[in-house]
Structure 1
């Protein structure tokens, strides 16, 4: 039986992104439609988890305590909307730290798989706004979807072949969710 799991990138998928990093709770601005989409997924029987590169920690822009404040706010907003985030995996390392968790490597997706007690990520989805998100999902055995929110437009412009691939492209997380839930009922 396929795994009913959706793994989301955070910045640019769930909340507004910034080339200057999201460094504080005040800078963490969720997309209301994304919070509602997570709730819809949960209510439809999907498990939702998050895999997020947070190299701003390694760069000294913010600390783990500030990241936890952002994630606690995310948990609370999703719960208020009637949903649940089952697990958040984050990579605090910089791009040159040679860790196994930073996307495009699949370490965080494997962490999510293990934390949720799954044997495989077959049938799950990795939804992101960057090529690294999609590559991590592919390596981990997930299906991938690109959203055009955040850095998604830039990703598609740099990799136009994505539009011709079997990776579906959506305006945002709400559009992906509507498609996934409709497709599930149609299939």
Structure 2
């Protein structure tokens, strides 16, 4: 993350750590057996990042944010994401294609970073979105040929990219601010 706002960067790192843990957890719906330990380790590491940077958010909540006066824009982006996910999942369920939930939700989550790059004036979100979308599109042909839930590969991909982004951003944060607790 490349933002001047301490609170926004700490929050994004904590949130992405939490989401990495959640996506690694979802990955365990039907994992490749050799990945079980790695998925569990990813969940734990994501939660540790979330706790460490969550404490920084709590301690620095009163600092400036890029959302000042624009919280509603963030709400619109999230509402649109929820509607797109819900609508897509309803269509998939109607078509009896629920195994595609993981891939579809991952794609929607990845794409929501495009407007967030503008909301937070942090263009690194575009890189995250591009990496996630490219990975999801690249795995799609193999997922079409399979008969297992797409969460087997789509969810670890989203988890890995979130965790990597959080760790790199955390390193940048610590180099820039230290640990202002």
TM beyond 0.5: no
Q: Which has the larger radius of gyration?
A: 2
- By percentage of residues, which structure has more strand? 1
- By percentage of residues, which structure has more helix? 2
Higher relative contact order (CA 8 A, sep 6+): 2
TM-score, structure 2 normalization: 0.33
TM-score, structure 1 normalization: 0.33
